[in-house]
Amino acid sequence: MLTEKDPPVETPDLPLPDLLKHLREAAGMTQAEEAERLCAHTGTCTLTRHEVGRWEQGRVRPGAWLPALAEVLGVELDILERAPSRKDTAASYAVPSSDSGQESELLRRTLLAGIAGAGISAAVPLEGLEQLRTIVDRDAGAFKLAEWEETAWEYDLQRASRSPSMMIRDLSLDLLAFQQAMERAVSHETRQWRRLNARFMILLAATLGSAGYGRESRLWWASARRAAEQTGDRQLTATAYASEAIQGLYEDRPLALMLSRVDTALELTQGRPCQATAQALGTRAYALALAGDHTSAHTALNQEADVYDALPDHITRDQLSMNGWPLFRVLHTRSLVYTLSGHPLAVQAQQEASAAQPARRPRHRIQVRLHEAISATRNGDVDDGLEHARRILAELGPNTNLFVRRTATHVAEMAPTEAQTRTAVLDYRQQFVLPQGEA
């Protein structure tokens, strides 16, 4: 509650979701801290930061929480009650008005909202900056196809080291802007724009899944497959199917369904040496290892190695983008499959994969080191394997993703049956299963 010593709280004219976020940041609170204060204020502890996030995303209205929010945020209740939902104001903020004065006023208020922190560190008015850029581009001209290709390439490279959760907002905003640019594209470039559109959608689907948003990821994979099919580019379409399949395995989606995605990818490439063929065969090897068909898994590994040997240099040298298939990917898959299947050469495969991992891919290096922990628990050294995994994950800290977490769960899953009910195993499972979007 406000006291005489409290400074006045700025309440810019914003939709309720944006206003809630602005007020929270002006108060210097994280979403988790706001949830804690709301719980303390109401005497209930059921609220989480994810629900606070849903309010600020405009996915749900706070409803009965509004009075408590007003108290915690230090504003009058009627200010929150009068604030419109984002959908009521989206058109006026997103679509340029024919009245230039009205448009300028809306933009001015949006920009000011980002610096109305009442003595708190100012927030960057990203929404207003995006609107301002749109106005400037009317004279300067919008992005050309080559510039959008460069943007997609940069996102592709960032996947190796940037937090997936941090990428989602930027990537989704750029994809929206790309859709608007594609509508104005010249007809003779339509196919190139469609191919790039499919690439952006593959990137977003993969990033959502990597951050733990499984449902949203599945929907975007379906859209990405359709977009790729519209291009008529069989290799790009195969990449969409194979990429979904490997991510789906880490998400525990049905093995049969993911193997069908692999089969479709291989039908599209007809086994020709290319990145999609190599990825599909590596995915098949992992799926079969999970299914317990170790002989067939090893056969798929050998087929992937044969395809790798036939790939052109520009693909095997590309260590960062979705178009490459370097040696470390081949060795990583071999290490994982040999580890899960208890192959006699598992330790050697782990050492070779570890030595080949590039420094710019810390999460890949962690995954290979987790293979060592899997081998330990699989061989009955359960306590040592779990402790080894904990130390490895502690080194990585919060810079994790779906693939690291799923590999970490294999450490407990591969322990002997009689060890599955041990307290150490149960505690480990609980410790490394993170909520959706936590990455």
Q: Which of 183, 247, 193 is nearest to 220 (CA)?
A: 247
Q: Which residue did the predictor score with more confidence, 342 or 161?
A: 342
Q: What is the pTM of this model?
A: 0.67
Which tens digit of pLDDT belongs to each residue from 191-203? Answer: 889 999 999 999 9
pLDDT at 187 over 70: no
What is the CATH code for 16-140?
1.10.260
What mean pLDDT is predicted for residues 241-267?
95
pLDDT at 9 over 60: no
- Distance from C-alpha of 159 to C-alpha of 152, rounded to nearest angstrom: 11
Confidence grade of residue 22 (pLDDT, cut at 50, 70, 90): confident
Which tens digit of pLDDT belongs to each residue from 201-231? Answer: 999 999 998 888 888 999 999 999 999 999 9
- Distance from C-alpha of 106 to C-alpha of 97, rounded to nearest angstrom: 10
pLDDT at 434 over 60: no
Is residue 412 within 8 A of residue 431, CB to CB? The reply is: no
Domain boundaries, the chain: 16-140
Is residue 140 within 8 A of residue 40, CB to CB? The reply is: no
Is residue 392 within 8 A of residue 399, CB to CB? The reply is: no
Which tens digit of pLDDT belongs to each residue from 76-108? Answer: 888 887 877 654 444 333 444 444 555 556 656
Q: Which residue did the predictor score with more confidence, 135 or 345?
A: 345
What mean pLDDT is predicted for residues 363-386?
89
pLDDT given at position 415: 86
pLDDT at 318 over 90: no
- Distance from C-alpha of 99 to C-alpha of 92, rounded to nearest angstrom: 11
